Structure 1
Amino acid sequence: MDLQALSFVELKDLLAQVQAEIGQREKAEKAEAKSKILELAKAHGLSLDDLFKQAESKAKKPVEAKYRHPTDASQTWSGRGRKPLWVQELLDQGKTLEELAI
């Protein structure tokens, strides 16, 4: 197909047709994938609840705080990752991490 030979209106119409076809194929592929997933789960004796429960159980639990601001208890830090600004400021003032420990 020579796109250069098409008029602006023809190109817009072609675009609309392509977008409609993409939408239909996307729905069909999702339906086929869903069917395959259900069939595979059923073949192995699994329900969808079994699959989702496993995914939920692997979710990471939040890490408990190890350090707390001495005057603002709402500011805590787990000790992982980059030091929060309030921790660095207190360390610069001469405090130690042991003094901030919970």
Structure 2
Amino acid sequence: MPSPSIQELLAQKAALEKQIADAQRSARADAIAKVKALMAEYGLTAADLAGRAPAAPKPEGGKKVAAKYRDPATGQTWTGRGLKPKWLTAALAAGKQLSDFAI
């Protein structure tokens, strides 16, 4: 019995790959239909499947942060977050230390 030629084997491979792709498409379509039926039966949405709870509204304004530094001359304060205020930048340029203003 002669062995099949390369062209015959490639044709068989192509036919098998087509059968595999068709079977995968069919199985996927069946799975989608089952999922849709279950969703309809239980009243589920895509958001329910994602497992995310509805977002809770965030509180307005956020939390206040306690001041860490104070200018003894004016009483102005800085929390240590964000840009340094002009009064502190000027004092540091004049040779003062940040620790001089710690509360």
Q: Provide the TM-score with structure 2 as the length reference.
A: 0.45
Q: Provide the TM-score with structure 1 as the length reference.
A: 0.45
Instruction: Choose 1 or 2 for highest CA Rg.
Output: 2
